[in-house]
Amino acid sequence: MTPSEYCQEKAAKSGSSFYYAFLFLPPERRLAITALYAFCREVDDVVDECTDTSIARIKLAWWRTQVETMYQGKAEHPVTQALSPWLTPFQITRERLLAIIDGMEMDLDQTRYLDWPALEKYCWHVAGVVGELSAGIFGAQSPAILQYASKLGIAFQLTNIIRDVGDDARRGRIYLPISDLQTFGVRAADILNSQYSEKFDALMAFEGTRARALYCEAVEALPANERRAQRPGLMMAAIYYALLNEIEHENWQVLHQRISLTPVRKFWLAWKNFVGSGRSIIKQIKRSGSDR
């Protein structure tokens, strides 16, 4: 198995919404984004699969050395071997890759976040910086694209947090800010015990509104002349935004189940926004933002 095949298998097995956007990219960009995604999966799996935090820290430290080795031209792991040809062409920086690992390590250090600024920092490390790297691979032409890419990545991560409230609670983690729980009178014990209430619904509606605002800020920051190149990100936005709508339609019932979209629906949303250069999701997000 070649390094690229290893990364392709890693991406396909994940079932992530990102995979559907990769399918529409030209070969070189598809290889690069798949390798980046595989890197993210590898370091994320360290945290998810290691029950011993000390072992997880050792593995993340090892990945830091792998990043350094890759930038010395001596890539060892299949993922870094697949990623190394694209470091210069697509401006994949050492600092951003290490920032992703920093984000994964934050999961070893804390299971709660005091307020939105603290959670937003975490979201940037694990998703916003990935958005910035991805935008470069997709063909960003100006530094202005970074604000769009970062905001969109944070919006994706907050959508994931909303979807996974129940799953995360069963792992002993509550990402929703403590200050938000206090504002709406929701106890951590209620979430850990999967107890729904009107207060919980109000809390989740608030988080959903925050996520929609991030999507709106992202598309507002996207220069019109960059839309075509950034279609993959907009395709992912269409899928994640539809997921957020689905969760709201299900009345925020996320404590006992993991709400998701079917593969067929994901593919349809991706294709629709590929053909239309993202115009559909941009209009939907802006319209929803003005309605609220």
pLDDT of residue 279: 84
Do residues 85 and 116 both lie within one domain? no
The residue among 2, 7, 12, 19 whose CA lies nearest residue 232 is 19
Which residues, including other chains, have CB under 8 Å from residue 162's CB and lie 6 or more apart?
Answer: 204, 207, 208, 211, 244, 247, 252, 254
- Print the domain residue range for 204: 110-292
CA distance 229 to 244: 25
Asked whether the beta carbons of 196 and 262 are under 8 A apart, the reply is: no
In a domain, residue 97? The reply is no
Q: Is residue 231 part of a domain?
A: yes
Same domain, yes or no: 184 and 271: yes
CA atoms of 187 and 230, how far apart (whole Å): 41
Euclidean distance between CA atoms 174 and 168, whole angstroms: 6
Whether 120 and 257 share a structural domain: yes
Q: Which two tokens stand for residue 228?
A: 């075509």
- The residue assigned the tokens 């792998």 is 66
pLDDT at residue 18, rounded to an integer: 74
Q: What is the pTM of this model?
A: 0.94
Residues 15, 144 share a domain: no
- Position 99 in a domain: no
Q: Are 3 and 57 within one domain?
A: yes
Q: What's the rounded Cα separation, in Å, for the pair 117 and 129?
A: 16
Task: State whether 179 and 290 are in the same domain.
Answer: yes
212 contacts 286 by C-beta, under 8 angstroms:
no
Q: What total of structural domains would you count in the chain?
A: 2
- Residue 278: the pLDDT is 76
Q: What are phi and psi of 25, to 5 degrees?
A: -85, 155
Give the Cα separation of 206 and 220 in Å (integer). 21
For residue 20, is it within any domain?
yes
Q: Is there a domain that residue 273 lies in? A: yes
Residue identified by tokens 């993991």 is: 258
CATH number at residue 244: 1.10.600.10
Tokens of 72: 């010395």
Residues 86, 134 within the same domain: no
Any domain includes 283: yes
Q: Are residues 268 and 236 in the same domain?
A: yes
Say how far apart CA 264 and CA 254 lie, in whole Å.
22
Q: What is the pLDDT of residue 194?
A: 94
pLDDT number for residue 92: 96
Task: Please tell me what DSSP assigns to residue 75.
Answer: -
Identify whether residues 28 and 85 lie together within a single domain. Answer: yes
From first to last of its 292 residues, what are the pLDDT tens digits of the chain? 899 999 988 887 766 677 777 878 899 999 999 999 999 999 999 998 888 899 999 999 999 999 999 999 999 999 999 999 999 999 999 999 999 999 999 999 888 999 999 999 999 999 999 999 999 999 998 888 999 999 999 999 999 999 999 999 999 999 999 999 999 999 999 999 999 999 999 999 999 999 999 999 999 999 999 999 999 999 999 999 999 999 999 999 999 999 999 989 998 998 888 888 778 899 899 887 656 5
Q: Considering the domain boundaries, does residue 96 fall inside one? A: no
* 3-class SS letters over 220-287: HHCCHHHCCCCHHHHHHHHHHHHHHHHHHHCCCCCCCCCCCCCHHHHHHHHHHHHHCCCHHHHHHHHH
Residue 236 lies in a domain: yes
Q: Give the residue among 226, 237, 33 at the shortest CA–CA distance from 145.
A: 226
Those residues whose C-beta lies under 8 Å from the C-beta of residue 32, and which sit 6 or more positions away, are 83, 85, 86, 89, 90, 92, 137
The angle that helices 263-275 and 231-249 make with each other, rounded to 10 degrees, is 140
Q: Is 26 in the same domain as 129?
A: no
Same domain, 85 and 115: no
